[in-house]
Structure 1
């Protein structure tokens, strides 16, 4: 029964979910699924033997053992053919590179290795529990000793994993990513303009910004590029940033340092101030900032700060509170400064973030009314399944709208879009502050959820979104593993799919802020600039 369970789970793991996967991640998913199926099969067999007090005759067992390899080879060959078809279909839809022929045997090899490794670990646990059981039989009843042995073995493993391995791993990861944060990219140099953090006039040093902070203040269009695009006079955009090392204090002090930089650069006299919420390591999608700067002729100030060394996927697991605290502190500090000015002299205040940055940005608000009251617009891109407001808006969506593209309160303030055309959906008036959630139906960062372990998500049960194949089905446990692997390859697909967002920033910002003298043709041209 164990091998039967392993085969069934292995076959199911090769079915499609959201994104095409290469041999490494598909092999890990398939090997892990097979190991789980193997364990479930063994447990089912043990339960049936106990319940029925019967075992099949030896002849039946012998026939089953002879038939199993035939079924395994035939079934695996068939499912691999379908796997190749599904992979090809997804890659064609997404214009992704096709798999080479050797990817399929490599997937099988990796799956077998992963399955074997997990089985060995589980058998090691069984050996440990049996050892403790034998030791306990000297002074405990047999069945009590068996239970105690399993419990003690579990406690030892959990204690070792949490107390020793986890601390060692996190310490190592922190050290590694801290070193990466200190690296300086060859094409980045301290700005020669006082309108950027890290310049000679700045209140924060170049080295303190961190690798991605230095990239942020070094990037962006020049005045000449903006004027060439708009055919109108432009000003130099302002970009300010505070890294983890920019102050000796915590998140509140770091946010205040950002405000100090805004004051130093004269940012409050700009037409737009944008609060950019970063991912875990301090990354900001360049398309999100560049599009704003082109739209407003450089008359913008974009402010951000770092809250972690860790990349988004690790911050998502271990560092969510820091993201929330950073989002709250940064927006509140900047909003207070903006509010201190006379109403007719205030810049337009917007907030945005991608991935974990959207989670951080949301944290400063209690709901759509709060967003409308405190901002002049918000753009949250590729939201995570942990985004509190996103979850609430999605759960309370208008009847008849699907989970992957909900309509919330008739789209009066908040709108969910998958591409530019969705900005017109629904047709009800969109007045006052505009809030946009830009999310792809194929984005695993958005649709990954532990609930998929045991329950089918609405986005698979309802009419499917773009690029989600009709052949994608929900399987307990397996779908969760597949989505977890999809997260690892979320940005390995072209713009418009998965967790890759570039050109649609132009349409989203144009709809949210409706820049003066801006046309649809300007948006189309900007999309091309962003895609370059």
Structure 2
């Protein structure tokens, strides 16, 4: 109980993302159960080694009761600090403080979670003991006990993975499939050329999927772009949904044909987008680029899943990479056959799981003879290979949450306040920019956090990370794992929710666009941020 209480107290401390009472209660209950299990294991080991039970001495017989009372007092006292700790996270994200009943609600959820996990532990021990006792009739006692534990573990894994988890995943799979096929009655195909599903398109409207239909029907119009001065064109958006073809290669080939048909290679810029797990393309990213290029841009994406990124990563771990490679291979293969003087500049982009798969869509050494123009990857997951290697190669004087790699000739990192590399520093033939927030656990989670503090916690600390955040063995890993699940629920500009204004700054670096005045850019940033924030709030109210 002493270790359970210590884990409970540490779990209440702040991490990267604000936690509601239910999320915090579940986290605290799990941490208490882990601490209790660890204490029980240590107690078993102490007994197994036949070491003396100190607290059973007559003079110390009251110590267990005193320790339990101390645990209760410490836990209750820490609950009063929980609100202040959570408010320290909310303050950096400019959120209002939480209400006074927060601590009571999380305590109820934590206790219930602990009780459920303890009952499961007792059930495990009962099964293991029962199998072990029966096995002792024909096997040596210690072999029988090991067999009992193995049998109980196998049963729990089979039930959890084969029945509960698989059943839940199949239910979610069916639900997402139906939602992806649903076409709202007020959603009509685009009437303008240059959009998949519209006039002259090779793709039928239902074959785009829900996220594809959102992608091709939204975005700035010519009038919207012209309002900021100068002539504009209608941006070209090509999207191929899962229902359009049987496999990734067929969808990629269809995307190339559609891009050619819509005139995508006649624009000055072409962007290959790898969407998130659901097939979603962040409007903050593509809208901002279309404004900056005054519509003279074509973008193409294909869907590889209809599940959220974490589920897609679990169920179809390699399919997103396969899809991204197929699309890049088709588009790049045709692009390099075009005259260099007249072909569009070629870029790649992805958010979250899309960033990781976009990274893996190409091998840089194969592009040395004819390189692409650049890449913008936002919120790269912690498993992104290139991101990890670039971060590891940073200047030791730069923090992990905003690295500086060499002289910034090839790759630069940016956050809400820009890049540590001066804006006028020269670029090479290919420009790579990572847009990331220090408060995004999807980028900065690491399983090693269980036993060592991460580098991004070292000073100087990022402005969007609570100054009260501390590292605790095991507990911090559980906190950051939960932060990954909550990272999409933050205010815009924090966590995993990227602001158009920050995309504008990143695209300016990647594309080198210079035909906008500072006043025009400030107006564009303010307007797009306001519109995107209103969309996010409306979607959250609807959910």
- Answer whether TM exceeds 0.5 for this pair: yes
Match of 2:29 among 17, 27, 31: 31
Please list every run of 5 or more consecutive structure 1 residues that lacks an aligned counterpart in the other structure: none
Pair 378,476 (structure 1): closer, same or farther in 2 beyond 3 Å: same
CA deviations 1:363-419 (Å, max 9, x no partner) are 123359958953212100011001111011111222222211111222111001112
Contact 1:507 1:523 in 2 (8 A): no
Runs of 4+ in 1 over 4 A off after TM superposition: 58-62, 367-373, 425-428
- Residue of structure 2 equivalent to 1:464: 461
Residue in structure 1 matched with residue 440 of structure 2 by the alignment: 443
- How far 1:159 sits from its partner (Å)? 2.9
Instruction: List aligned pairs for 1:12-411, cutoff 5 A.
Output: 12-51=10-49, 52-57=51-56, 63-185=62-184, 188-229=187-228, 231-247=229-245, 249-367=246-364, 370=367, 374-411=371-408
Gap regions ≥5 residues in structure 2: 531-543
Q: How many residues align?
A: 528
Aligned to 2:494: 497
**What does the per-residue CA deviation read over 1:185-217, in whole Å, with 9 as the maximum and x for residues that have no partner?**
465321111211112421111111111111011
CA distances 1:334-380 after superposition (whole Å, capped 9, x unpaired): 11121121111100111111111101110123359958953212100
Tell me, yes or no, if the aligned pair for 2:414 and 2:420 is still in contact at 8 Å.
yes
Q: How far apart, in 1, do the equivalents of 2:396 and 2:193 lie?
A: 52
CA contact (8 A) 2:418 2:505 kept: no
Question: What TM-score does the superposition give when structure 2 sets the normalisation length?
Answer: 0.93
Contact 2:55 / 2:61 at 8 angstroms: preserved in 1? Answer: no
Q: 1:525 corresponds to which residue?
A: 523
1:336–1:116 Cα change, 3 Å: same
**Structure 1, 161-170 or 405-414: larger mean CA deviation:** 161-170
Separation in 1 of the partners of 2:223 and 2:295?
10
Question: CA–CA distance in 1 between the matches of 2:185 and 2:483?
Answer: 32
Distance 2:382 2:60 in 1: 47
Call closer, same or farther: CA 1:215–1:92 in 2, change over 3 Å.
Answer: same
Q: TM-score, normalised by structure 1?
A: 0.94
Report the alpha carbon displacement of residue 263 of structure 1 after superposing the two structures with TM.
Answer: 0.8
Q: CA deviation at 1:59?
A: 5.5
Instruction: Report the Cα distance in structure 2 between the residues aligned to 1:372 and 1:278, rounded to whole angstroms.
Output: 27
Matched residues in 2 for 1:386 and 1:374: separation? Answer: 25
CA distance in structure 2 between the partners assigned to 1:334 and 1:344 by the alignment:
18
Q: 1:369 & 1:420 partners in 2: Cα distance?
A: 34
